[in-house]
């Protein structure tokens, strides 16, 4: 039985899957399996997975169930004590799995181990940006407000921690759910927050940006209204777990979420959305301004410049700041 399982959800990812699998195969920690879950692809995804030369790889095929459903199928087939996830357009650094295995081995109370992430573009080129979250003393309010895990390719979880949050919906005949398949967005934060609120498992990070998280144009211009609606549905779903927690922390968490969406709108150069989200952020709660004044003020200022003067002047301002830095 392998010590670790790496689950790769795959839906029409022929352009990136081979690179992802190669990055996983060269992990310095060797005792693992790769489970590629083909989620009803219509391109060459299945052929690429079958052609990958690594006997540790297993291919599981299913009709389309979405990202959460592919992860759940992978968990159901996983044999490892530790289970990691790598989306089929992201990459792992060679020592990522070794770092998480060592971390979980040394800290039996940690159920979710994660790393920071460096951002890459569609051609796998570094964007010079990274997610470097807090690694220790992570509480449920911090998960709710700041989501230090960051993305679905960053964590490696203890199987026992995942099983502590498993359930089987009435309509499900085949297997348990760990991720909520009714969500097509916000399924990651819903899972991490449910773990933090309903179990005693700790969440901690390991140093370094060990995940390479791919950003593309379609991702940057994703519908921020739909993203916010999904986040709000997550809050509504989880509120019965601890009504007092959500009454206390939801306003600040909502402001952080609005700021995050504002930054995505700025990156997509969507001035109208950025201005709207910046205004909502300021009205919702002042907590982001108090706790992270520089990042919040820069976001609000960028939204104002983009909305008033357009993307060209914002690009010039960012280039001038980069030259001075």
Specify the residue for token string 């699998």. 21
Mean pLDDT of the chain: 92
Say which residue, 194 or 220, is predicted with more confidence.
Answer: 194
Res. 221: pLDDT tops 50: no
Q: What is the pLDDT of residue 217?
A: 58
Asked if residue 118 has pLDDT above 90, the reply is yes
What is the distance of C-alpha 138 from the center of its chain? 16
pLDDT in the model for residue 324: 45
Q: What is the pLDDT of residues 56-93, one digit of tens each?
A: 999 999 999 999 999 999 999 999 999 999 999 999 99
For residue 325, what pLDDT is reported? 41
pLDDT, position 266: 85
Task: Describe the crossing of helices 187-198 and 224-238 by its angle, rounded to 10 degrees.
Answer: 20
Rg, the chain, Cα only: 20
> Which of the four pLDDT bands, split at 50, 70 and 90, describes residue 313?
low
In order of their start, the domains of the chain are 4-215 (3.90.550.10), 224-324 (no CATH)
Instruction: Kindly tell me the number of DSSP H helices and DSSP E strands found in the chain.
Output: 14, 9
pLDDT at 129: 84
* CA pseudo-torsion sign 246, 252, 258, 263: negative
pLDDT confidence of residue 158: 98
Q: How far apart, in whole angstroms, are the C-alpha atoms of residue 295 and residue 288?
A: 9
* pLDDT over threshold 80, residue 244: yes
> How does pLDDT run across 176-193, given as a tens digit for each residue?
999 999 998 899 999 999
CA distances from 195 to 82, 144, 163 (A): 16, 11, 10
- Is 297's pLDDT higher than 60? yes
Q: Which helix (H) or strand (E) holds 110?
A: strand 110-120
Q: Which pLDDT score is estimated for 238?
A: 98
CA torsion, ordered 190, 193, 195, 201, to nearest 10 deg: 150
Distance CA 2, CA 80 (A): 5
Complete DSSP assignment for 274-321: HHHHHHHHHHH-SHHHHHSHHHHHHHHHHHHHHHHH-HHHHHHHHHHH
Categorize the per-residue pLDDT at 241 as very low, low, confident or very high, splitting at 50, 70 and 90.
very high
Say if CB 131 and CB 209 are below 8 A apart.
yes
Name residues whose C-beta falls within 8 Å of residue 288's C-beta, 6 or more positions apart in sequence.
252, 255, 256, 259, 281, 295, 296
pLDDT at 319: 58
pLDDT in tens, 259-288: 999 988 888 788 888 999 999 999 999 999
Q: How do residues 102-116 score in pLDDT, each as one tens digit?
A: 999 999 999 999 999
DSSP state of 18: H
- Mean pLDDT in residue range 287-300: 93
- Mean pLDDT of the 46-53 span: 97
Secondary structure (3-state) at 10? strand
């Amino acid at each position: 039985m392998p010590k670790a399982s790496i689950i790769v959800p795959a839906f029409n990812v022929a352009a990136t899957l081979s690179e992802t699998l190669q990055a996983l195969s060269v992990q310095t920690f060797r005792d693992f399996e790769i489970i590629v879950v083909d989620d009803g692809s219509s391109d060459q995804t299945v052929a690429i997975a079958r052609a990958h030369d690594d006997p540790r790889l297993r291919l599981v095929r299913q009709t389309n169930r979405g990202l959460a459903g592919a992860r759940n199928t992978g968990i159901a087939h996983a044999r490892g004590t530790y289970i990691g996830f790598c989306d089929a357009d992201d990459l792992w650094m060679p020592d990522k799995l070794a770092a998480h295995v060592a971390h979980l081995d040394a800290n039996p109370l940690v159920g979710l181990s994660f790393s920071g992430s460096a951002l890459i573009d569609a051609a796998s080129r570094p964007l010079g940006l990274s997610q470097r979250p807090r690694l220790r003393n992570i509480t449920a309010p911090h998960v709710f407000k700041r989501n230090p895990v960051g993305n679905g390719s960053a964590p490696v979880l203890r199987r026992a921690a995942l099983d502590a949050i498993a359930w089987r919906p009435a309509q499900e005949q085949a297997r348990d759910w760990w991720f909520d398949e009714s969500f097509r967005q916000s399924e990651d934060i819903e899972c991490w927050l449910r773990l933090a609120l309903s179990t005693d498992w700790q969440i901690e990070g390991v140093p370094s940006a060990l995940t390479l998280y791919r950003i593309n144009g379609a991702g940057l211009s994703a519908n921020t209204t739909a993203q916010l609606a999904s986040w709000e549905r997550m809050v509504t779903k989880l509120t019965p777990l601890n009504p007092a927690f959500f009454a206390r922390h939801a306003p600040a968490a909502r402001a952080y979420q609005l700021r995050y969406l504002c930054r995505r709108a700025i990156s997509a150069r969507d001035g109208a959305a950025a201005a709207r989200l910046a205004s909502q952020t300021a009205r919702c709660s002042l907590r982001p301004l108090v706790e992270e004044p520089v990042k919040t003020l820069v976001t609000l200022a960028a939204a104002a410049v983009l909305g008033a003067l357009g993307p060209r002047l914002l690009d010039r301002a960012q280039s001038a700041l980069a030259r001075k830095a």
